[in-house]
Structure 1
C-alpha cells in the first residue's frame, strides 16, 4: 500500500511527537514538499473552509500570519489540539528563521 494512500486521504508516519510525525507525513505525500511550509500557498479563507490536499499549506500560511486558533477552528472545523501542534511547528520555524 505504501506510506501515501491518496484515495482515502491517509498517510502513515511515526515520530515521538505529533509535530515530527506530521512533518514526515507531509514529506511522504509529495517529494517536492519539505514539510509544513507556510510559503507554498497564500492565505485564503475560502480555501481554509474547504478540505483539500492543499488546505494544509493555506493553514500554515494563516498560522504564520498570526490567525488565532479560535478563528482557524471556526473556518476549518479542525480540532484545536491539532491547530496548537501546527502552530508550534510554525513558531519553531519563525524562531529558526530569526537566527543569524
Structure 2
C-alpha cells in the first residue's frame, strides 16, 4: 500500500505533489474503505513472500487473483477538517505543520465533483 498527497493552488489550479508514502498509512485505510480492497491484509501477505497472483481477490469472491485491477469509475478525495474557531490562539494559516482535527472522505465521478 502507498499513497500520494498533493496540494492545489487555489489561485491558478496548479497541482503539486507534497508527499508519497510507500507504506500502509491512515490514507491506505481510507483507500480500503473507498474501494473495498483490503490493502493492509494484502501488503502483509506480500511482506511474508506471497505474490499477488497467489492471493485471492476478496472483491470478486476469489474468482480473480489480487493482481486483478478492478475498473473504478469514481474518484475518492480525502479532505482535512479544520476547526480554527475552537483554538483561539492558533494561527489560521496553513503551513507544513499539521493543523487538521480530522478528515472527511468525498466521492465523485471526477476530481472536481469530489471536491464539491
TM-score bin (small chain): under 0.3
Point out which structure has higher relative CO (alpha carbons under 8 A, 6+ apart): 1
TM-score, normalised to structure 1's length?
0.25
